[in-house]
Amino acid sequence: MDRRGSGAHHDLDLARMLRSAEALRLPLTQMAQAARGARPSSALRTQLASIGRSAEQRMLMATGGANAHRGAIWALGLLVAAASLHGEQEVDAELLASTAAAIARHPDQNAVDTDSHGVRICRRYGVGGAKAEACDGFPHALQIGLPCLRQARARGCGEQHARLDALLAIMSRLADTCLLHRGGPAALDTARRGAQSVLDLGGSSAAQGMQALMRLDHELLALHASPGGSADLLAVTLFLDGTDVLADPCLMQPRSDHGNARL
């Protein structure tokens, strides 16, 4: 889903996505407040989960029942809480990710067993999904997305191309449960191979790379498949990148073309 249209998400458009994002401002603030002065514990995890469930309801109301940001509520909620937990202490991306993981590993005392799409996909295909990614400290963001983002910037790529390349790097490696849910192993394989092909051709800023990206876009649309898990981890990557910039202003680079590049 982007400015051109809904893509594989027939129940979403850009306006709904923006309304959903705005609706999450309050619950994410509440998560930060809940973590202030706390420590990773089952009590904190349970409180964050309660706020997260309220956030999901706000999202669904904003979108008319469509899931726009469920994965982001989980991942960014943990990171916001982790950042707040450290207070005024200066933290880098690795410390923030490890703190978020420490919170995620604790049980939600009020959790109800559900047979959600994500749970079924993880069980069927033997993959970890969003929970395992968080409990492991977001390795696909920290070790794949973030280095690719910064390498692209260092090559002189514009910000949007750098972010596209980071997304593609994550897609090329992640067992994305959204892809598996929508299109099975065929969709996952198409996404992984296609993403790596774009990167091998110079990334989204190169002419051949952009052509390969457009082909991948059409292939995934034909499968009605969308790399939602990878998109969530791009959001994590950008959050961690911002954390490192605060810790080390030398990482700050001009990003004048923000929002201009399109598929």
Name the H helices within the chain: 14-23, 25-35, 42-63, 70-85, 93-104, 117-125, 129-135, 139, 146-154, 159-173, 177-200, 207-222, 228-247
- Among 36-40, 89-93, 149-153, the minimum mean pLDDT is found in 89-93
Q: How confident is the model at residue 259 (pLDDT cuts 50, 70, 90)?
A: very low
> What pLDDT was estimated at residue 261?
45
> What pLDDT was estimated at residue 231?
95
More confident residue, 252 or 16: 16
Rounded to whole angstroms, the Cα distance separating 222 from 162 reads: 26
Q: What is the pLDDT of residues 242-252, one digit of tens each?
A: 987 665 656 66
Q: What is the mean pLDDT of the chain?
A: 90
Q: What is the pLDDT of residues 52-93, one digit of tens each?
A: 999 999 999 999 988 888 899 999 999 999 999 999 888 999
**End-to-end C-alpha distance for the chain, whole angstroms:** 11
Tell whether the model's pLDDT for residue 1 goes beyond 60: no
Rounded to whole angstroms, the Cα distance separating 242 from 256 reads: 16
